[in-house]
């Protein structure tokens, strides 16, 4: 499948690599400079490889509410949430975002999860007034990530996104209310081009996703770079993700992973009522205090020991006091410090007892990270 910005990236000298069925920009120049833009200024990233669908029909709210792990019924146009599709055993089929429009939900998910979402939802069309439309060919998704992302939106559109709401009061099953973290969106214009603009923090940083018609994608990209955004490839994005301890579907969790193992509580409601997988995750939460046999953790591998050596591969065993206690799921050399940072699963008993960890014969230690906040996306 061809995507809207591929030719533009090639024309401006990006190095491309495969991501699912698409070629994505790996980098445009120096990796360290692109990483710095993300964490200290603002980077612009082509996220068009992500899956995106329109969920339509009068039964869309009821069907989605019974499938996903987060509140759907209270949402009104202009608001969205992070959610999960789970198996009956509480394992992760996909992590998604749902944005409520007047006549549809727009659902977005990571590259590897898109086929599973399509397979799960498409058959529902036979059960009622429910339609699923694939938006990938029609729309580009452009991400703005970094401290100055709100400033770029304001300069490019005139909107003031800092005033957009971040929570919604919802009723709990059994009585009472709670504040639900939400993603606000507005239909804005970047120059003459329309863009559904969603405020969706990413990796602990201010961030936005702009859904742009295919024919306007290059125009919007150029306008946003003109407003101060630095082009950033997926290599820098991955380094930022791993450094900040955020798991990714297909790498750090999948349909063999219990949602609480992967630290996905920000996408789960324990108070909305029934949905597929609810019984399992609620039991772990209420009876087990979110304790599972293993846990996804952020790791630092001693930089001096790994200098000049390859970054350990996904699946490399993690040893605790000399015995296998888990495995790596993602690892990367930090673009600035050169140290290896990683994610991996470690047995909870080893973590509780503070046993010394090693990876590929070298010391490793757990980096305490805040999980992606309940207000942000984990993709």
d(CA 47, CA 19): 11
Let me know: does 150 contact 164? Beta carbons within 8 Å: no
CATH classification code of 293-367: 2.40.30.110
**Contact (CB, 8 A) for 136 and 47:** no
pLDDT 10s digits, 352-363: 999 999 999 889
Number of neighbouring beta carbons within 10 Å of residue 159: 16
Query: What pLDDT, on a 0 to 100 scale, did the predictor assign at position 377?
Result: 52
Q: What is the pLDDT of residue 370?
A: 52
Domain ranges of the chain: 6-243, 293-367
What tens digit of pLDDT does each residue of 155-185 get?
A: 999 999 999 999 999 998 888 999 999 999 9
pLDDT of residue 372: 42
The kind and range of the H/E element at 215 are none
Residues 295/328, Cβ–Cβ less than 8 Å: no
pLDDT at position 249 over 80: yes
* Contacts of residue 158, Cβ cutoff 8 Å, sequence gap at least 6: none
Give the pTM. Answer: 0.94
Question: Using one digit for the tens of pLDDT, what is the confidence trace for 280-314?
Answer: 999 999 887 788 999 999 999 986 666 678 899 99
Mean pLDDT across the stretch 217-231?
97
3-state helix, strand, coil in the chain (%, to 5): 25, 35, 40
* CATH class for the domain made up of 6-243: alpha beta
- Token duo for residue 198: 């969603």
Residue 145 φ then ψ, to 5°: -135, 130
Q: What is the pLDDT of residue 173?
A: 87
51-95 per-position pLDDT tens digit: 999 999 999 999 999 999 999 999 999 999 999 999 999 999 999
Percent pLDDT > 70 in the chain is: 95
Give the count of beta carbons closer than 10 Å to the beta carbon of residue 285: 16
pLDDT at 214 over 90: yes
| 226-245 pLDDT per residue, tens | 999 999 999 999 999 999 99
- Residue 317 is predicted with a pLDDT of 98
Distance of CA 260 to the CA centre of its chain: 16
pLDDT category of residue 374 using cuts at 50, 70 and 90: very low
Residue 373 has what pLDDT?
41
Q: Taking residues 109-126, what's their average pLDDT?
A: 92
Q: Band of the pLDDT at 371, cuts 50, 70, 90?
A: very low
Give the mean pLDDT of the chain. 93
Size of the chain, expressed as the number of residues it contains? 379
In this prediction, residue 304 carries a pLDDT of: 64
CA quadruple 190, 141, 15, 244: dihedral sign: positive
Terminal alpha carbon distance of the chain = 21
Residue 181: both structure tokens together: 């973290």
pLDDT at 376: 52
Q: Work out the burial of residue 20: count CB atoms within 10 Å of its CB; fewer than 13 is exposed, 13-18 middle, 19 or more buried.
A: middle
């Amino acid at each position: 499948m061809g995507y809207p910005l591929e030719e533009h990236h090639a024309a401006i000298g990006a190095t491309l690599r495969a991501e699912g069925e698409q070629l994505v920009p790996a980098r445009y120049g120096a990796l360290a400079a692109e990483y710095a833009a993300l964490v200290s200024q603002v980077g612009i990233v082509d996220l068009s490889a992500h899956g995106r669908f329109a969920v339509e029909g009068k039964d869309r709210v009821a069907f989605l509410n019974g499938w996903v792990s987060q509140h759907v019924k209270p949402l009104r146009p202009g608001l969205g949430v992070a959610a999960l599709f789970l198996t009956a055993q509480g394992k992760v089929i996909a992590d998604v975002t749902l944005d409520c429009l007047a006549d549809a939900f727009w659902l977005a998910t990571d590259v590897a999860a898109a086929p599973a979402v399509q397979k799960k939802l498409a058959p529902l069309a036979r059960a009622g007034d429910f339609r699923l439309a694939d938006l990938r060919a029609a729309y580009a998704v452009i991400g703005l990530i970094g401290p100055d992302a709100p400033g770029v939106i304001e300069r490019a559109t005139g909107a003031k996104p800092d005033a957009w709401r971040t929570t919604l009061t919802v009723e709990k099953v059994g009585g009472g209310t709670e504040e639900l973290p939400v993603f606000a969106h507005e239909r804005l214009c970047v120059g003459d081009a329309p863009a559904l603009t969603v405020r969706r923090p990413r990796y602990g940083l201010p961030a936005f996703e702009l859904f742009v018609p295919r024919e306007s994608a290059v125009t919007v990209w150029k306008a946003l770079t003109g407003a101060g955004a630095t082009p950033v490839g997926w290599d820098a994005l991955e380094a930022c993700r791993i450094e900040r301890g955020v798991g990714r579907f297909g790498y750090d969790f999948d349909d063999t992973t219990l949602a609480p193992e992967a630290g996905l509580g920000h996408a789960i409601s324990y108070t909305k009522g029934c949905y597929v997988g609810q019984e399992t995750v609620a039991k772990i939460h209420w009876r087990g205090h979110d304790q599972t046999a293993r846990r996804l953790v952020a790791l630092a591998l001693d930089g001096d020991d790994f200098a000049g050596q390859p970054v350990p591969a996904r699946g490399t065993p993690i040893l605790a006091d000399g015995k296998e206690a888990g495995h790596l799921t993602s690892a990367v050399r930090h673009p600035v410090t050169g140290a290896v940072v990683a994610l991996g699963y470690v047995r909870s008993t080893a973590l509780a007892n503070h046993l010394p960890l090693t990876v590929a014969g070298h010391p490793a230690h757990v980096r305490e990270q805040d999980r992606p906040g309940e207000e942000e996306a984990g993709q």
